[in-house]
Amino acid sequence: MLAASLERRRPWCEARLRSPDAQSATPRERIQYVFRRAAENAAAPGCCGCPYLAVLVELKDGEHPASVVARAAKELLRGCFEEQAGQGGAGDPALLARQLVLIFDGASARAGARIEHLDDGLLTATATTLLDAAGVK
């Protein structure tokens, strides 16, 4: 039942992270949009962080059907970051994608636990620093 719930929620989550001007935005702008939305979502009342990350952390069972769905969602995000990083000219798009997912998930976990407030620009500034270092246009 949890796996089905996550699968049903996935298109909504993906749509919320897709830039409304994806056709005209640069790869850098598309990646930055994801982090702006993540910061906005984290500041919303009742936000508990990324549901996919929460399932992976709580279940600790990689074979559980919900873990399979959650891992696929996280892999999709990593793949999108890698594609955009490559299009933007990153020297090592795979590494940059892993770094971006790491800060995305870390921020989500800290915001979900109410340890960190992301409405001060920390998340977007951190992502921008990584994009600058990788030379993403």
Contact 25, 19 (CB under 8 A): yes
| Residue 12 clears pLDDT 90, i.e. is over it | no
Distance between CA atoms of residues 86 and 81, nearest Å? 8
Contact 103, 85 (CB under 8 A): no
DSSP 13-64: HHHHTS-TTTTTS-HHHHHHHHHHHHHHHHHSTT--S-HHHHHHHHH--TTS
Dig out the tokens for 102 from the structure: 């790491």
Structural domains of the chain, ranges and CATH numbers in brackets: 2-15+35-134 (1.10.357.10)
Q: Rg for the chain (alpha carbons), in Å?
A: 15
pTM of the complete model? 0.92
pLDDT in tens, 65-77: 999 999 999 999 9
Of 125 and 43, which is predicted with more confidence? 125
State mean pLDDT over 106-123. 90
Helix H or strand E segment including 130: helix 122-134
| Residue 44 clears pLDDT 80, i.e. is over it | yes
pLDDT in tens, 122-137: 999 999 999 999 999 9
State mean pLDDT over 32-61. 91
